[in-house]
Amino acid sequence: MTVLSAALPDFPWDLLEPAKAIAAGHPGGIVDLSVGTPVDPVPAVIRAALAAAADAPGYPLTAGTPALRTAIGQWVRAACATSGDPAVLPTIGSKELVAWLPTLLGIGPGNVVVIPRICYPTYEAGARLAGAEVVRSDSLTALGPDRRVRLVWINSPSNPTGQVLPVAHLRKVVEWARERGVLVASDECYLSLGWEQTPVSVLADEVCGGDYTGVLAVHSLSKRSNLAGYRAGFVAGDPAVVAELLAVRKHGGMIVPAPVQAAMIAALGDESHVVEQRDRYAARREALRAALVGAGLVIEHSEAGLYLWATRGEDCWKTVDWLAERGILAAPGAFYGPAAAQHIRVALTATDERVAAAAARLAGA
């Protein structure tokens, strides 16, 4: 019997347990900046919508209610600067879609999935679950005429680096892929968190020209609306590809619960809570950035997103241990690819009190 997990690398966060134990032993308690999980309250307008829809005894629609599809479409047109009507489909968070996209599209042995050199680990995991080959590359021209390529992942703003891809780069990726019949999947979960640069969606008119053929954008409400616990996301783009995803997901029972669909409508229709959350993250970002630089670390990229990408010019695990001794837990760059072996990722998702504690400890470093 084939064991599917054998095709996967070790789950990264399990490897962080020793450092976590050291950090937890600090007299002032641990400051966990390793995982980008929201700590702030779910906005009241969203909780009210969830509660109002709680009496939902029947099966929900895999495609989402008409009201939800309308809400997603309106949000995409505004946030992604697109004048057309890309197809939309709600997903059970974004990680689920990332992990299963190759499988859902019939990508497998003999096919290649291209992912960034430094990136979210689930891109690789999803390709391996499907039995496809993984190639790490930031330059598609370097791939040559490899006709095995079926899917290219891009991520802007990047997790973990916070790098924003310019419009010209995005346009070239789309053009390259269309010439070869390759699908481009753009992970845009941090689109609303631009700091020093404004991220642009792959669905923007200036990128794809209003034509969504061969293009998908993946979005999440986890960060912008503190809905990680709701598992609320969606995909938008090529109508033919979205239709295929819908058909397969119907068979697989991959359905967003009805109360969560109602909560998503409320979240997408209210931007005031997004502005409020951005302000929280901005303040935490400035405090952590100043503290890290003051302690001798160098911040690279980090112009958008929910993380600071930092280095001391040494093996990332050594830096992780150095921080753990001060009660601070960060994620090692090794989780995100071999090219990140000297970096750490520092999340902005801690309370104001914990961020202040981390800054004070770094000041005394």
The answer on pLDDT for 4 being more than 70 is: no
Tell me: do 115 and 86 sit in the same domain. Answer: yes
What span, in angstroms and rounded, lies between the C-alpha atoms of 355 and 365? 15
**pLDDT value for 3:** 55
For residue 22, name the pLDDT band (cuts at 50, 70, 90).
very high
Tell me which of 6 and 16 has the higher pLDDT: 16
Tell me: do 252 and 107 sit in the same domain. Answer: yes
Tell me: do 295 and 353 sit in the same domain. Answer: yes
Q: At which of 221, 245, 269 does a domain end?
A: 269
**Is 111 among the domain residues?**
yes
**pLDDT value for 146:** 78
Q: At which of 212, 237, 269 does a domain end?
A: 269
**Is 47 among the domain residues?**
no
Domain count along the chain: 2
Who contacts 224 (Cβ-Cβ below 8 Å, separation ≥6)? 192, 193, 267, 274, 277
Tell me: do 212 and 137 sit in the same domain. Answer: yes
Classify residue 114 as exposed, middle or buried by CB count within 10 Å of its CB (0-12, 13-18, 19+): buried
Tell me: do 163 and 122 sit in the same domain. Answer: yes
Tell me: do 120 and 174 sit in the same domain. Answer: yes
What CATH number does residue 164 fall under? 3.40.640.10
Tell me: do 265 and 278 sit in the same domain. Answer: no
The answer on pLDDT for 107 being more than 70 is: yes
The answer on pLDDT for 10 being more than 80 is: no
**Is 95 among the domain residues?**
yes
Range of the domain at 88: 55-269
Dump pLDDT digits (tens) for 258-301.
999 999 999 999 999 999 999 999 999 999 999 999 999 999 99
**Is 185 among the domain residues?**
yes
Who contacts 50 (Cβ-Cβ below 8 Å, separation ≥6)? 230, 259, 260, 262, 263
Reading the block at residue 96, the tokens are: 């689920």
Q: At which of 236, 269, 302 does a domain end?
A: 269
Tell me: do 285 and 353 sit in the same domain. Answer: yes
**pLDDT value for 147:** 87
Tell me: do 333 and 245 sit in the same domain. Answer: no
The answer on pLDDT for 364 being more than 60 is: yes
**Is 46 among the domain residues?**
no
Give the single-character DSSP code of 94: T
**Is 48 among the domain residues?**
no
**pLDDT value for 197:** 96
Tell me: do 155 and 229 sit in the same domain. Answer: yes
**Is 326 among the domain residues?**
yes
Tell me: do 250 and 291 sit in the same domain. Answer: no
The answer on pLDDT for 145 being more than 80 is: no
What CATH number does residue 22 fall under? 3.90.1150.10
Tell me: do 174 and 297 sit in the same domain. Answer: no
Give the single-character DSSP code of 107: -
Element (H, E) at 126: helix 121-129
Dump pLDDT digits (tens) for 152-167.
999 999 999 999 999 9
Dump pLDDT digits (tens) for 25-84.
999 999 999 999 999 999 999 999 999 999 999 999 999 999 999 999 999 999 999 999
The answer on pLDDT for 1 being more than 50 is: no
**Is 263 among the domain residues?**
yes
